[in-house]
Amino acid sequence: MGTSTTHNPHEFMNAKSILTLLCAGGASLLAVVNVFGEASVYIANKVSNSAWPEGMAGLVNVTNRVYGFTHGDAPSVEDVFFYSGSAADFTAFLAQYSKIQGIKGHRLILDDGAGEAKFPWDKTGPACDWELYGLSRQAPKYDTNYVLEVHFWIGGKIRVDSLTIPNTVEVTGPCLKNFEAITNGMTRAEVEQRLKMDGGKQGISPVRFIDPGCPGFKIKVEFDTKQNPNDLNRAVRANDDKVIHVSRPYLEPPFMD
């Protein structure tokens, strides 16, 4: 989320103290205050920007925002906002996010650990559950679609499997790396080396797989199976069956054996 900038240690400490007071003090008549030179903190209850796509201000200004800041110079400007809330709050946030038009896709990035609301150059910050990240890149060398992404920390107080994620939102992140590594042409044995089969009733194809390191998510994998002519051409399971289709990761409680 941008390049870190070196600051005078005393200026850095004063800025963090100012930020603490602003977060505790509530609304202000000003929309932003410059505390880091290149970065400015949003301190008003309601803020907006003409460069934002339609509907983004509604997301930015939900009442459970921890704080936000803007960073960079035109034409490349980042806006970052942190939030704390419940599973219902975040589900509603995602539903609203999925309806915003004029952006370069809808992405939910799952990050490891617990969330902290902090500047890129900070080591720590107050707790948060998710982040809204926006990037305006209005320059000839870029396309003109606004980048707007949501980050969520899987190690926080909100359980991933308690969420409802719209089908139009692409889910990605380090947590899903084993799912994303499954591609057409891999063998069944290679898939089973990376992932664990879900419990419950399963057929030969498709097969539901889970990753214990990414609780709540599954994928369905279809295999090109062979048929046994001596058994009514029923499909036969083999370790060298090739993957022919992989679903997107989706949320579903695991089935028990």
Query: 78 with 147, same domain?
Result: yes
Please state, in angstroms and rounded to a whole number, the distance separating the CA atoms of residues 74 and 241.
52
Statement to judge: residues 231 and 114 lie in one domain: no
What pLDDT sits at residue 65?
A: 92
For residue 166, tell me if it sits in a domain. Answer: yes
| pLDDT (0 to 100) of residue 38 | 60
Query: Is 190's pLDDT higher than 50?
Result: yes
Q: What average pLDDT does range 112-119 have in this prediction?
A: 90
> Mean pLDDT over residues 166-180, rounded?
90
Q: Which of 31 and 50 is assigned the larger pLDDT?
A: 50
Give the end of a domain, one of 123, 154, 172: 172
Q: How far does CA 140 lie from the centroid of its chain?
A: 28
144/236 Cα distance (integer angstroms): 51
Same domain, 96 and 156: yes
Q: Are residues 20 and 116 in the same domain?
A: yes
How confident is the prediction for the chain on average, in pLDDT? 82
Helix or strand or coil: residue 133?
strand
- 189 and 129 in one domain? no
Confidence bin at 67 (pLDDT 50/70/90):
confident
User: pLDDT tens across 222-253, in order?
Assistant: 999 988 887 777 888 999 999 999 998 888 88
CA dist 135 to 61, 164, 165, Å? 17, 25, 22
Work out the pLDDT band at 130, boundaries 50, 70, 90: very high
Q: Does 208 lie in the same domain as 160?
A: no
Residue 94 has pLDDT above 60, yes or no: yes
Percent of the chain with pLDDT over 70: 80
23 & 131 share domain: yes
pLDDT digits 0-9 by tens, 14-44: 344 444 444 444 433 334 444 444 668 876 6
Model pLDDT, residue 142 = 53
Structural domain boundaries enclosing 217: 178-251
Q: Look at residues 137, 172, 207 and tell me which one is the last residue of a structural domain.
A: 172
Is residue 72 within 8 Å of 2, Cβ to Cβ? yes
Question: Mean pLDDT, to the nearest integer, of 3-21?
Answer: 38
pLDDT of residue 77: 84
C-alpha to C-alpha distances, 108 to 17, 66, 115, nearest whole angstrom: 31, 19, 14
Residue 129: per-residue pLDDT: 96
> Are both 167 and 197 inside the same structural domain?
no
Which of residues 23 and 189 earns the better pLDDT score? 189
Domain final position from 155, 172, 189: 172
In-domain check, residue 122: yes
Task: Give the pLDDT score at 23.
Answer: 46
| Cα 223–chain centre separation | 29
Residue 118 has pLDDT above 70, yes or no: yes
